[in-house]
Amino acid sequence: ATKATTATIMKLSLLIALVALFGADAFTPQAQKANNAKFDLKTAAASAIAAIAIGMTNPLPVDAVDFPMQPPAIYSSTNMVAEKVTRQGMYGDYEVDLTQTVDDAESTFKSAKETKTKKGKYTAILAILIVGSFIVPMAQYFWYVRDDDSSDQFFAEDVPEPPKKKGWF
């Protein structure tokens, strides 16, 4: 199966290369195509090489036929947390959920008292980070422009008069 698949991929790559080679100017306007009658070998060769490179990359494995049709449970969006067992009773069959071992809903949060006692510390850290995110970039900007006098030159008092134009206007 792998030799046949490889041969099919090679044939498909050759077909794509030929289409790219002979159809390189397919989307150019007709007026330009009529004026430019000579064949551009560089563009055709580059297109063919690109088509062969794209055709040779195979996103699927070669032995895709050998893979099972159903994905494994780890890739599923629904995970089983309890096993259902069918049991027979006096009035008919019924399903029973056995004890679940995967999903544990035990709370791991801190207590309210512990959260209140450490609230001030985390508020201070957050305030320092927020203020620092504004102060540090401004300080960095002023450090970079401390020796720049372009604004003084721009707002200078002695602005020279523009030269008088000679002519009608």
Output the pLDDT for position 127: 95
Q: What is the pLDDT averaged over residues 12-17? A: 81
> Is the model's pLDDT at 61 over the cut of 60?
no
- CB 82 within 8 Å of CB 97: yes
Quote the strand ranges of 31-152, DSSP E.
84-88, 93-97
Give residue 47's pLDDT.
Answer: 85
Q: Is the pTM of this model over 0.85?
A: no
CB atoms within 10 A of CB 48: 19
Structure-model confidence comparison of residues 133 and 20, the more confident one: 133
3-state class (DSSP) for residue 95: strand
The amino acid occupying position 41 is L
Residues 144-162 have a mean pLDDT of 79
User: Residue 49 has what pLDDT?
Assistant: 85
Q: Which residue has the tokens 């201070």?
A: 124
The pLDDT value recorded for residue 130 is 95
